[in-house]
Amino acid sequence: MLHIKEVTVQNGSFSLSLDLPQMSSGIYAMIGPSGGGKSTALASIAGFQSLRSGAIFWQGRDISTDAPARRPVAILFQDNNLFPHLSIERNVALALTPRKQLTVEQRSKVSDALDRVGLSAHGEKKPAALSGGQQSRAALARILLQDKPILLLDEPFSALGPALRQDMLDLVAEIARERQTTVIMVTHTLSDATRIAKDIIFIDHGKADHPVATPELLENPPEALRQYLGNDAGST
Amino acid sequence: MKHFTFAAGLLSASMALADAPVLTVYAPDYFASEWGPGPSIEAAFEKECNCDLQFKTGDVLSRIILEGARSEADVVIGLNTDVTKKARETGLFAAHGQDNSQLTLPLTWTDQVFLPFNYGHTAFVYNAEKLREAPQSFDALIHSNDELKVIIQDPRSSISGLALVLWVKAVFGEEAENVWEKLAPKILTVTKGWSEAYGLFTEGEADMVLSYTTSPAYHIVAEGDLTKKAAIFPEGHYLMVELAAKLKGTDNPELADAFLAFIMTDTFQNLIPEENWSLPAALEVSEWPQAFQELPLPEKVLFYSEEEAATLRGVAIEEWRRALSK
Amino acid sequence: MAPRTFQITAGAAVAAFVLFPLWAVWRHSDALASLGEAEWAALWFTLKQALLSAFLSVFFALPLARALARTQFWGRQFVIMVLGAPFILPVIVAILGLIAVFGQNGIFNLLWTAFGFERISIYGLQGVLLAHVFFNLPLATRMLLLGWTSIPSERIRLAQSLGLTARGRFCCVEWPMLVQVVPSAFAVIFVICLSSFAVALTLGGGPRATTIELAIYQAIRFEFDFATAAMLGFMQLTVSLLAALIAVFLGMTNGFGFGLDRSLPCVARPAFEQFWDGMIITIAILFLALPLAILTITGAAGLLELPPSVWVAALRSVLIALGAGVLCLMLALPLCTRIGEVIGTLGIAVSPLVLGTGIFLIVRPYVNPFDIALIVTLCVNAVLSLPFVLRVLRPNVEQTSKTYLKLSQSLGLGPWAQFRWVFWPRLRRPLGFSAGLVTALPMGDLGVIALFGDAEYATLPLKIYQLMGSYRMEQAASGAVLLLSLSLSLFWIFDRWGRGDAAH
């Protein structure tokens, strides 16, 4: 269980308050207008942003002061998920060790992960030699190896075409189901949210609403969400 | 529009006064700057010539050589004896037509082309308060403690630096390279030009600086500072003479002649000491300002003709370079 | 970004502006020169000191830029700006400032000898290197700092999230950036130091420290040996271009990427790291600002007593700087390509003296060089600043092109609309910085005006030299303070404008 308890964050003149009790495994979509606080919310869960007040608990333990790497959190960005000068294999292996030399066991884990995302033939290549979709898969392979119970997705796969993106989202959903992961996905695209998310968190003006089950929310959207959807979410 | 005219005025060179003939004089930058004698000379000459005297500054000899016969200069001023051979060889200069016997230089002047207007001697200048026992002869300088630090100018980029190597050559002849080797440890550094060297000296970097016998006069007259002295060496001092000349191709020969004649007048000569901080070339000592009359000057003067200077230059510079590169 | 015709025109204009004068100088004598022992010695020393200077400048800039990139403190922007000041000072003024700190009786030696050590002489190779690091460390730091701030923030966060060690972070995040930025910084500084003259001579302590530039000066102004001058100028140019090519080639590894350039509020950095960064920044400030501070203190008192002519000269310098800034940016925008950067290096690759003489020879048959001296100065300054501006602009322009070119082409935007709507908003910040740099830089440049100028239309640096040439060392110091404050103000105004309201 992830519990975000009365958290507030101050970033320059922007402030955000989050209060999301008891989030169990499954996929949560976080939607809302730009500048509403989505990215800041992810950053504070991942540990890139220190909290002004409140706390974040995982399985009852306060993780709010842990360094990013020590949190039970993996994160996938919109872009720049791979280090361009390292091979795909090395990029994925960073989840296990920063060393250049891999043990036999590590090597087999890496190749299993690459297998799982369908990139076994590309381990030696540099990211630039891969297509956008393949790059996303490579990043996902690393997430698999990191094996964290919480996965944060910051507008994932938005550089990909719609078909490819749906494939990737399905893959994420499959992995999350398998591993009982709690996924929080920031997205601009309502169709992405409805495709895989069980709950939706609407966030605007630095304030997050409690998660609402996706079908319920769509049936009876609050005014702010309606406006937002009317303006720029429909487009994709 | 007003603003535009103002900006254009700032950026473009001066327009000639429409009615008066223009006399173009090439001069070194220090000469024509507002802190040099240029402006006073311009004012004084324009009062009597009914003309517009315009100084064009820059590297005078380089410009004349680059421009050749097409030069717009009527007169040049500020050439130095050590480099006049090149200038004479261009064949661009006409006779100055002035009476050399009016000159009061410490040597006899017979040149009919290049007319002296001021002179000075190279000398090592020091602060008498800081350096109590300054070497009072070249010999003493060479044999002084290596703790004594001297700043000189590079003979390859500076006219006073060139005068120094000729000075050493004139005093020591064949021994010059040896002398340079002995001087080497005392030479704190070598600068591109006089300004840099003198600036470092004023900052207190070195005990002595290569400058002129007339340098102390500036400090006395302008600053009331009596501590700066030029060491006078009995071996003699090298003479530096600055010259003016008329161009053959001038389109204003009468005006050019009038200007050369003006150089020999007391009006012009009286401006030299306290505006150029050097000695006037055609003015009796009794007419000099008090501070200049009292200035210690060398009894023995060393000088190379332009022919000798041109021949010795390469050798002297090379000896200097070898000795100081060790 | 710009259509090919713009690129070719700008490239050809710059190349012609530099190469044509060199050719003219050579043509003037129409002979091939052979070089003597002295010239070879000068060439060798020039290369040695330029390599060492570039190496040391970049070497010390690395920890400094890194510290500045990850430390937030009050007045950080101001410090970064003032650290750039040595670069814009007239050489002689900077030398006097350095002497006040490191000279025979400078602060450094006073302290050093007070502790019972032997006095350290600034004169010699060590002095040349010290001065060159003083001039160029700020430049290297700016270039590296730009590299550090353009590292995608996602990558820094990714490294944090993967729990990479300091070494791992360096290898994964910083190394690829450095591989791209360092050769370029090294090359610019190397090329700048190739044409060092007064610094090398004065602080080098004598003819051991003779550079090619001095040999050129001697050839042009004393020997009237234009063949040798052209030959030496050509050698200088060749070495510079070689360096620029190598740098562009080395910096070619792609995929460096660009992030959001958001400042990252760091979560609790280790104390020793903060301490170390603080130390480095403090030492750098002391090293770079102390000479300037002493100059300012000695010169500030006489500032208001400067004669009006100096103020007029200052205004003239400002106008020239602004003109040069406009021209430089107009040339720079189309030249933001790999080849453009090599061509841009030409500006600092050729000896200013050869350039000035060549231009003089070219224009002489048509106009009176005196009449266009200030225009020429303006053009020379614009070309001279080009390499620095290109190094700032090129990465940004390329990135914007990569991201938005297809989009804007598909929308059928013309060149002007592209510039206005696509490039302008994204380039405002680097443009502001470049404009600041390019207007501040030429302020201290004596340039061709020394060769053919008009005393009545002098620029501020020339006035300072005139003051020094007539014994007025104190007034010259005040002039230098005026120059320094004007340059910094220009820089500040443009940089500030570029950062817009989002300045922080």
| HEC readout, C71-120 | CCCCCHHHHHHHHCHHHHCCHHHHHHHHHHHHCCCCHHHHHHHHCCCCCC
Vertex B223 angle, CA B218 and B224, to 5°: 100
pLDDT one-digit tens code per residue, B204-217: 899 999 999 999 99
Distance CA B20, CA C201 (A): 46
The arithmetic mean of pLDDT across residues B20-28, rounded, is 91
- Nearest C-alpha of chain A: how many angstroms from C232? 41
- Pick the residue with more confidence: C198 or A27? A27
| Residue-averaged pLDDT of chain B | 90
Can you spell out the DSSP letters for C329-362? HHHHGGG-SHHHHHHHHHHHHS-HHHHHHHHHHH
Contacts of A7 (CB under 8 A, 6+ apart): A16, A17, A18, A19, A44, A51, A53, A54, A55, A56, A64
Chain B touched by C148 (CB under 8 Å):
no
pLDDT one-digit tens code per residue, C467-503: 888 888 888 889 988 988 888 888 888 878 877 644 3
Helix spans in chain B (H):
2-11, 29-32, 38-49, 60-67, 84-89, 138-142, 159-172, 176-183, 194-202, 215-223, 253-263, 266-276, 290-293, 306-325
Q: State the pLDDT confidence band at C28, using cuts at 50, 70 and 90.
A: confident
User: A with C: how many residue pairs have Cβ under 8 Å apart?
Assistant: 83
For the complex shown, is ipTM > 0.90? no
In the chain, the amino acid numbered C133 is V
Q: Where are the domains of chain C?
A: 1-32+301-504, 39-88+122-149+175-289
Q: Closest by alpha carbon to C27, among C215, C237, C234, C213?
A: C234
The arithmetic mean of pLDDT across residues C371-379, rounded, is 82
Distance CA C295, CA A7 (A): 53
Q: Which domains does chain B have, with CATH numbers?
A: 14-119+241-293 (3.40.190.10), 120-238+298-325 (3.40.190.10)
Distance CA A13, CA C332 (A): 36
* Pick among B195, B223, B278, B319 to test the C interface (most C CBs inside 10 A): B195
Chain C touched by A158 (CB under 8 Å):
no
Q: Three-state secondary structure along B134-173?
A: CCCCHHHHHCCCCCCCEEEECCCCCHHHHHHHHHHHHHHH
Across the interface, whether the CB atoms of C158 and A69 are under 8 A apart is answered no
pLDDT one-digit tens code per residue, B129-177: 999 999 999 999 999 999 999 999 999 989 999 999 999 999 999 999 9
pLDDT at C452: 60
* Pick among C93, C208, C222 to test the B interface (most B CBs inside 10 A): C222
Are C6 and C343 in contact, with CB atoms under 8 Å apart? Answer: no
Chains in touch with C (≥3 Cβ pairs < 8 A): A, B
pLDDT at C428: 80
Prediction pTM value:
0.84
The arithmetic mean of pLDDT across residues C157-186, rounded, is 84
| Residue-averaged pLDDT of chain C | 82
**Residues of chain A positioned with their CB less than 8 A from the CB of C265:** 11, 49-50
Task: Check pLDDT > 70 for residue B7.
Answer: no
Chain C touched by A97 (CB under 8 Å):
no
Distance CA A161, CA C220 (A): 65
Q: Cα B217 to the chain's mean position, in Å?
A: 15
pLDDT at C257: 43
Across the interface, whether the CB atoms of C160 and A75 are under 8 A apart is answered no
Tens digit of each residue's pLDDT, chain A (236 residues): 898 889 898 877 888 888 888 888 889 999 888 888 888 888 889 888 888 899 999 998 999 888 888 899 999 888 778 888 888 998 898 888 877 788 888 889 999 999 988 888 888 888 888 888 888 889 989 988 888 999 999 888 877 888 888 888 888 899 889 989 999 999 888 888 888 888 989 888 888 888 888 888 878 777 777 777 765 444 33
**Residues of chain B positioned with their CB less than 8 A from the CB of C453:** 29, 57-58
Region of poorest pLDDT, from B61-75, C25-39, C160-174, C259-273: C259-273
- Pick the residue with more confidence: B135 or C419? B135
pLDDT at B79: 92
Percent of chain A's residues with pLDDT above 90: 14
Residue in C41, C103, C469 nearest the CB of B195: C469
Chains in touch with B (≥3 Cβ pairs < 8 A): C
pLDDT at C254: 44
pLDDT one-digit tens code per residue, C55-93: 999 999 999 998 988 887 888 877 877 777 777 777 777
pLDDT at C87: 74
**Residues of chain A positioned with their CB less than 8 A from the CB of C150:** none
What share of residues in chain B are helix, strand, coil (percent, to 5)? 45, 20, 35
Give the 3-state secondary structure of residue B55: strand
Beta-bridge partner residues of B5: none
Residue in B11, B57, B70 nearest the CB of C374: B11
Residue in B149, B195, B325 nearest the CB of C465: B195
Beta-bridge partner residues of B63: none
Task: Check pLDDT > 60 for residue B6.
Answer: no
User: B with C: how many residue pairs have Cβ under 8 Å apart?
Assistant: 187
Cα separation values, C136 from A103, C89, C188, C441, Å: 46, 12, 9, 13
Across the interface, whether the CB atoms of B194 and C203 are under 8 A apart is answered no
In the chain, the amino acid numbered C214 is L
Across the interface, whether the CB atoms of B325 and C103 are under 8 A apart is answered no
Percent of chain C's residues with pLDDT above 90: 11
Distance CA C454, CA C457 (A): 5
**Residues of chain C positioned with their CB less than 8 A from the CB of B66:** 28, 357, 360-361, 364
Region of poorest pLDDT, from A161-170, B5-14, B102-111: B5-14
Positive or negative torsion for Cα A68, A74, A80, A85: positive
Are C386 and C335 in contact, with CB atoms under 8 Å apart? Answer: yes
Q: Read off the DSSP letter of residue B294.
A: T
Structure tokens at C326: 């406009």
Distance CA A75, CA C154 (A): 10
Residue in C158, C168, C265 nearest the CB of A11: C265
Give φ, ψ of C22 to 5 degrees: -60, -45
pLDDT at A50: 83
- Nearest C-alpha of chain A: how many angstroms from C504? 10
Give me the architecture of the C1-32+301-504 domain, per CATH.
Orthogonal Bundle (1.10)
Across the interface, whether the CB atoms of B13 and C214 are under 8 A apart is answered no
Q: Read off the DSSP letter of residue B22.
A: E
Cα separation values, C279 from C68, C141, C215, C282, Å: 11, 16, 42, 5
Distance CA B134, CA B127 (A): 9
Are C209 and C128 in contact, with CB atoms under 8 Å apart? Answer: yes
Q: State the pLDDT confidence band at C410, using cuts at 50, 70 and 90.
A: low
Structure tokens at B315: 């050798």
pLDDT at B161: 95
Region of poorest pLDDT, from A42-56, C309-323, C435-449: C435-449
pLDDT at C450: 60
Give the 3-state secondary structure of residue A128: helix
| CATH classification code of C39-88+122-149+175-289 | 1.10.3720.10
Domains C1-32+301-504 and C39-88+122-149+175-289 share a fold: yes
pLDDT one-digit tens code per residue, C237-270: 999 889 888 887 776 544 444 433 444 545 556 7
Strands B75-80 and B22-27: parallel
Chain C touched by B114 (CB under 8 Å):
no
pLDDT one-digit tens code per residue, C106-156: 888 889 888 888 888 889 999 999 999 998 998 888 888 888 887 877 888
- Nearest C-alpha of chain B: how many angstroms from C328? 18
Residues 253-312 of C with CB under 8 A from A: 253-257, 259, 264-265, 267-268
Across the interface, whether the CB atoms of C96 and B324 are under 8 A apart is answered no
Across the interface, whether the CB atoms of A49 and C257 are under 8 A apart is answered no
Structure tokens at B102: 């009016």
Task: Check pLDDT > 90 for residue C337.
Answer: no
> Please, what is the end-to-end C-alpha distance for chain A in angstroms?
33
Across the interface, whether the CB atoms of C218 and B205 are under 8 A apart is answered no
Helix spans in C251-351 (H):
271-300, 308-332, 338-349
**Residues of chain A positioned with their CB less than 8 A from the CB of C154:** 77-81
Residues 41-100 of B with CB under 8 A from C: 55-59, 61-63, 65-67, 70, 72, 83, 86
Q: Closest by alpha carbon to B187, among B214, B162, B206?
A: B206
Percent of chain B's residues with pLDDT above 90: 76
Residue in B66, B154, B200 nearest the CB of C360: B66
Chain C touched by A83 (CB under 8 Å):
yes
Do chain C and B touch: 3 or more Cβ pairs under 8 angstroms?
A: yes
- Pick the residue with more confidence: B91 or C202? B91
The arithmetic mean of pLDDT across residues B213-231, rounded, is 95
**Residues of chain B positioned with their CB less than 8 A from the CB of C472:** 35
Contacts of C341 (CB under 8 A, 6+ apart): C184, C244, C248, C335, C387, C390, C391, C394
Distance CA B124, CA B215 (A): 10
> Please, what is the end-to-end C-alpha distance for chain B in angstroms?
63
Across the interface, whether the CB atoms of B218 and C370 are under 8 A apart is answered no
What is chain A's Cα-based Rg?
18
The region that residue B304 occupies, defined by phi over 0 for left and psi between -120 and 50 for alpha, beta otherwise, is beta
